[in-house]
């Protein structure tokens, strides 16, 4: 199997597929003539040798007003063609990843498709305030962390990916433990996540990406159920320093519902030390019920993005001002905590 092409950081990616019009910076091709624009054609449109696209005759049995969409007649053929094309590119290595290992095509067509039913049907996530994430340019989303397993980070990624008006992608900063686990390490890289360090975060922000961070870390993820929705320390404010250096806004984010998916009533510290984990949770169902106890409870989630806190008004040396960092860190933390309490008051039930 051929190796995927690695895109040098900051370089415009180029596709090795057949020449065609540019597509969102992810595949290159010829420039349409200024006198006669060339309509874009998808791989599946030319799979059977019949030209399709804008201006082409619709397929038999297809509503002309639904041309290009998955109409009832012929919809499965298009889906099959897309799937076969995807498999062909995987087998031949005709796909691209960036310097962090992010595979956008795999994320869009496979990983998001796997997470979407959990987001929509199981946790029934309601998202608010997505317009507070800017349509262009870098932004740092700062959220609370909870739930024993980092499912809140994944649901946050789906929320931005599927519902942001500008179709933005969230690049999460993860703990080093994530990149030490087999399989999880590779999937995290493919999904666009990277190590939670200032250097990687600043590179992504300067590139204009939306970066997500959960400053509570394992302290928030593994806190006892009795302390649910009480924010832990936000570290030393390193995320504020990174935002100040990049000159990007900080978007506070509050997540309600994740705290109850695994009610953590105990911590087997001896087992955690033996396994090299920061904690080993004991819940009403785990480890008593074995693997069945690892199934999360189907709680109802709400994710709310708050108003962005600008940082571009500060001079470059402000990133080294400890008092400013403390004040901004405290402002972000208090905003998230206040929003959590507000959402909890509005919530009718944990499960509905």
Residue that has been written with the tokens 């060339």 in this structure: 38
Asked whether the predicted pLDDT for residue 317 surpasses 90, the reply is no
Neighbours of 181 (CB within 10 A): 11
CB 254 within 8 A of CB 143: yes
CB 288 within 8 A of CB 110: no
Which of 64-68, 85-89, 134-138, 215-219 has the least mean pLDDT?
A: 64-68
- Domains, the chain, ordered by start: 1-99 (no CATH), 104-261+296-346 (3.40.1130.10)
Element housing 6 (H / E) = strand 5-6
- For 27-63, what is each residue's pLDDT tens digit? 333 333 333 343 444 443 433 434 444 444 444 444 4
pLDDT at 43: 41
Task: Please give the full DSSP string across 149-165, using - where no structure is assigned.
Answer: STHHHHHHHHHHHHH-T
pLDDT band, residue 74 (cuts 50/70/90): low
pLDDT at 14: 37
Asked whether the predicted pLDDT for residue 111 surpasses 80, the reply is yes
Average pLDDT along the chain:
83
pTM of the entire structure? 0.77
Instruction: Report how far residue 44's alpha carbon sits from residue 30's, in angstroms, rounded to the nearest whole number.
Output: 19
Asked whether the predicted pLDDT for residue 217 surpasses 90, the reply is yes
Instruction: Output 191-198 pairs: Cβ under 8 A, ≥24 positions apart.
Output: 191/102, 191/103, 191/107, 191/111, 191/157, 192/100, 192/102, 192/104, 192/107, 194/100, 197/173, 198/238, 198/241, 198/242
Of all residues in the chain, the percent with pLDDT exceeding 90 is: 68
* Distance from chain centroid for Cα 205: 15
pLDDT at 110: 93
Asked whether the predicted pLDDT for residue 124 surpasses 50, the reply is yes
Helices (H) and strands (E) counted in the chain, each on its own, are 10, 11
- Please report, to the nearest 10 degrees, the dihedral formed by the alpha carbons of residues 224, 225, 231, 235 taken in order: 20
CB 148 within 8 A of CB 261: yes
- For 260-304, what is each residue's pLDDT tens digit? 999 999 999 999 999 999 999 999 999 999 999 999 999 999 999
Of all residues in the chain, the percent with pLDDT exceeding 70 is: 79
CB 328 within 8 A of CB 239: no
Nearest to 299 by CA among 237, 351, 250: 351
Nearest to 179 by CA among 252, 100, 87: 100
- For 224-245, what is each residue's pLDDT tens digit? 999 999 999 998 888 999 999 9
User: Which is more confidently placed, 17 or 338?
Assistant: 338
Element housing 266 (H / E) = strand 266-267
- Going from the C-alpha of 67 to that of each of 45, 48, 55, 82, the distances in angstroms are 12, 17, 10, 16
């Amino acid at each position: 199997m051929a190796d995927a092409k690695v895109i040098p950081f900051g370089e415009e990616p180029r596709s090795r597929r057949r020449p065609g019009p540019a597509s969102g910076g992810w595949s290159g091709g010829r420039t349409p003539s200024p006198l006669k624009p060339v309509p874009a054609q998808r791989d599946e449109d030319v799979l059977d040798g019949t030209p399709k696209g804008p201006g082409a005759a619709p397929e038999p049995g297809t509503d002309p007003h639904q041309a290009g969409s998955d109409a009832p007649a012929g919809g499965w053929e298009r889906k099959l063609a897309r799937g076969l094309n995807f498999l062909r590119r995987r087998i031949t290595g005709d796909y691209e990843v960036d310097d962090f290992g992010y595979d956008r095509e795999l994320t869009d067509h496979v990983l998001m498709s796997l997470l979407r039913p959990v987001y929509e049907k199981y946790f029934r996530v309601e998202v608010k305030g997505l317009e507070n994430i800017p349509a262009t340019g870098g932004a740092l989303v700062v959220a609370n962390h909870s739930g024993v397993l980092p499912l809140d980070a994944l649901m946050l990624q789906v929320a931005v990916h599927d519902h942001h008006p500008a179709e933005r992608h969230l690049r999460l900063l993860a703990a080093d433990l994530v990149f030490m686990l087999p399989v999880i390490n590779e999937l995290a890289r493919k999904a666009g996540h990277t190590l939670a360090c200032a250097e990687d975060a600043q590179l992504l922000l300067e590139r204009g990406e939306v970066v997500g961070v959960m400053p509570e870390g394992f302290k928030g993820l593994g806190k006892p159920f009795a302390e649910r929705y009480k924010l832990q320390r936000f570290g030393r404010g390193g995320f504020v320093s990174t935002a100040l250096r990049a000159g990007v806004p900080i978007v506070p984010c509050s997540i309600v519902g994740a705290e109850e998916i695994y009610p953590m009533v105990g911590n087997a510290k001896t087992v955690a030390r033996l396994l090299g984990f920061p904690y080993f949770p004991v819940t009403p169902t785990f480890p008593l019920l074995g693997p069945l106890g690892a199934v999360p409870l189907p709680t109802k989630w709400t994710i709310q993005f708050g108003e962005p806190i600008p940082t571009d008004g500060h001079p470059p040396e402000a990133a080294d001002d400890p008092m400013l960092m403390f004040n901004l860190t405290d402002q972000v933390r208090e905003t998230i905590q206040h929003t959590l309490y507000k959402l909890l008051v509005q919530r009718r039930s944990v499960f509905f």
